[in-house]
Amino acid sequence: MKEKNSTTRYYSLDKASLFQQFKTSTEGLSEQDVKQRLEKDGPNALAQGKKQTIIQKFFNQFKDFMIIVLLVAAFISGVVAQEWADAALILAVVIINAVFGVFQESKAEEAIDALKEMSTPEAHVKRAGKFATVSGENLVAGDIVLLEAGDIVPADIRLLDSASMKIEESALTGESVPVEKEIDLLPDEDIPLGDRKNMAYMNSNVTYGRGLGVVVATGMKTEVGHIAGMINKAEDSSTPLQDNLNSLGKTLTWLILVIAAVIFAVGIFNNPSGLPMNELIIDMLLVAISLAVAAIPEGLPAIVTIILALGTTRMAKRKALVRKLPAVETLGSTDIVASDKTGTLTQNKMTVEKVYQYGKLQDAADEISGNDKVLQVMTFSNDTKIQADGTLVGDPTETALVQFGFDHDYQIEEELKKEPRVAEVPFDSERKLMSTIHKLANGKFLVAVKGAPDMLLQRITEIQASPDEVRKFTETDKDAILKQNKFMATQALRVLAMGYKIIDSIPQEVNSDTVENDLTFAGLIGMIDPERPEAAAAVADAKKAGIRPMMITGDHQDTAEAIAARLGIIEPGDDAAVITGAQLDQMSDKEFAKKVKNYSVYARVSPEHKVRIVNAWQKKGKVVAMTGDGVNDAPALKSADIGIGMGITGTEVSKGASDMVLADDNFATIIVAVEEGRKVFSNIQKSIQYLLSANLGEVLTLFMMTLLGWDILLPVQLLWINLATDTFPAIALGVEPTEPGIMDRKPRGRKSSFLSGGIGSAIVYQGILEGLITLGVYASALMFPVHTGNAAMHADALTMAYATLALIQLFHAFNVKSTYQSIFKIHPFKNKVFNIGVAASFIMVAATIVVPGFNSLFHVSELNLVQWLTVLGAGILMIVIVELVKLVQRSNGKK
């Protein structure tokens, strides 16, 4: 069995036991007691999580293995070989990458800060026999606190007295309806948070009535504090993007180091120039450095960051605000979307859905007469306040009834002026009824009663059979009403009954016995927190994209199951797909891991359950996205691969713990974001294909040059090629249009890589092709020299190899727009950003050759027209050969 947190069950203690445990009384604590307890337990505030400084974040960027190799290369270039310009260029690239990394992490965790801001309301506390208002931070365990409608509960409180008090706890428990509080003892056993009717928890809101209680926990010992602790302890899971980049980086770096070591050993062994050993070692070190610079995609982290940043800009325009850059790509690999119900899949607003009157059940949208008693009773027996701007303030159930009246053009304020309230019997949780008395124009009085159907039916003697007929209430009528009540309850509707009577005068004593009897049954009202209009279509789109949607909620099982069926998350009546938190507690982690695939709806769950569910799927290799809007969702939001908060209804805590926030609270926006994430991955894949095939071409060129004893390209030349030809085209590939059918594919999952889908093999053959063409141009320049003299001839050949290796990559950038499709079918010049990027890169490379003064800096010579045409011809040849390979691949069924 899953072990639960060992906390005191204050809900099972009586008043005497509580007072004894906390050494308090009905008079409250003395000031001396308060002072001692504050010194011992500290203020009623939440602990601050540790944060890294900007300096720490900056230096953390240098822990990457590829970056360390580049730093070593810079050190050897500058200190050993005295090539300070080369060293400066390498360091500049490394520092730019580090700055990008710090920027990416600057949006650090804000969840605990948000919790602290939320947790300091004022409190009405009784001390030494007198009530006073104090800051919530100064509360201590044992304080006696008064709670009234509109108050924020300042600490965890065991209620000692409750007068029709209701507390809205949706942010903590996921319960969509305010909880009616009681003071009765509860069993000494584990009871879900939402069912602890005699407890009030920090940061929940009192919506109705009043109560008195003793503080049993403050600060980090409260339920909200417990959640804050979970957020602090939760480890940031690496995203699939980060895993892919780290794996790719390590593989490349080790491969490069091995090749560099082989080159170094071959050079030392061959020593074709006959150099002294000390000079030979330095010379071959520079060759190894050249190889490392050529092979390591040092711009890759920055380019990926830029592509992700561009993705966040596009997503922001579509109402998805990304707080952490890797989240953009993570969405594209999502297998599971575990969604909170209240406020995410539903509107977090009680709404009338069904009306039963005159023996018929009708939809709320159907026409209803303004003379109908059911409409009058629901709006008269109601404490909702109507503001000047039309805003409704009050209990969500009651405001929904008034809104129903507005929707049916019932002039509530005008009717109340004509028939004002003159007396009332307030609601209480025992009789579950509320009555108001209104003076009619003829001098008589209307008694309007609403409440629980089972309680109201005990007081019914007549029934409104039609708008014009009232007759005696029969057992047949009662059976029909109970049948409708049960039917609506199975649909997860909250059912209220309406009754009324006309009396000649107001009783001397207005109470339940004198008022709530001999009533006429008017009808039933079925209410629910309805699903969002777009949610069902979004669920269907998710399934089409191979994503499994799940509901995880603190609400009741029946409600959760009904909403899930209406949304298409489960099939109607599929009870086996639904599990409660209590049932989950009975399972070990091993047993749950075996059965986790069976469940799509989790009801009555706690924050620990949500984290457990997310972790169970992650251990199966699934990429999990978790949506939520409440404080109770924050730990799971942080534990998930991507946490998605709600921008409108979400608490600051949930938004602070999220990777992405939906600005419109629209569940469908998640699917839009998934599409954008898949597009981002596809475009990053194109950039990686472009970069690695180019770098492989550079490695092959250097390797063969060294083996053949030719002059080799220098580190500064290779670094300039990488800076000029890698950056702009690679970034431009990141804004390529979305490929058709991208949302018809299954999620690629956590185990996929950037080299999957034919990309790896394409990199290999295209990189070899680039190297061979470059070596061919170098060899042809030696065979057909333009200038005489050995030095001039070799200078021209090296310059042509440098220009070819750079420009052939720019031509190849067009090839990687599609792995298998011909570039002539995908509109190669459609992407204006790409066209500009390629042009800018060409100018940067050409400038090093044609602009006076640059020749000596980059160790190149000027080229004539024939030499330039040879270089351009090599670039065109690259496109022709790749097009022929793609044609063969397509003929073999590749798509």
Any idea which residues carry the catalytic annotation?
340
Distances (CA, A) of 722 to 117, 716, 863: 48, 10, 21
The type of residue at 816 is V
DSSP codes, 141-170: TT-EEEEETTPBP-SEEEEEEEEEEEEE-H
Q: And the tokens for 581? A: 């938190």
840 CB-contact burial (10 Å; exposed 0-12 / middle 13-18 / buried 19+): middle
Helix (H, G, I), strand (E, B) or coil at 86: helix
Which are the contacts of 197, defined by CB distance < 8 A and separation ≥ 6? 11, 179, 180, 181, 182, 184, 186
Q: What radius of gyration, in Å, describes the C-alpha atoms of the chain?
A: 36
d(CA 840, CA 835): 9
Q: And the tokens for 281? A: 């070692």
d(CA 665, CA 646): 5
The values of phi and psi at residue 165, to 5°, are -80, 135
Q: And the tokens for 816? A: 């990687």
The type of residue at 201 is Y
d(CA 624, CA 611): 11
Which are the contacts of 377, defined by CB distance < 8 A and separation ≥ 6? 448, 449, 450, 498, 499, 500, 522
Q: How many CA atoms lie within 13 A of 875 on its CB side?
A: 21
> Can you say whether residue 528 is alpha, beta or left, with left for phi > 0 and alpha for psi between -120 and 50 degrees?
beta
CB 875 within 8 A of CB 814: no
> Can you say whether residue 523 is alpha, beta or left, with left for phi > 0 and alpha for psi between -120 and 50 degrees?
left
Per 3-state DSSP, the chain is made up of helix, strand and coil in percentages (nearest 5) of 50, 15, 30
CB 526 within 8 A of CB 374: no
d(CA 369, CA 509): 34
Helix (H, G, I), strand (E, B) or coil at 621: coil
156-168 and 199-200 as β-strands: parallel, antiparallel, unpaired? Answer: antiparallel
d(CA 776, CA 332): 41
Helix (H, G, I), strand (E, B) or coil at 620: coil
Helix (H, G, I), strand (E, B) or coil at 324: coil
Angle between helices 790-815 and 759-783 in degrees, nearest 10? 150
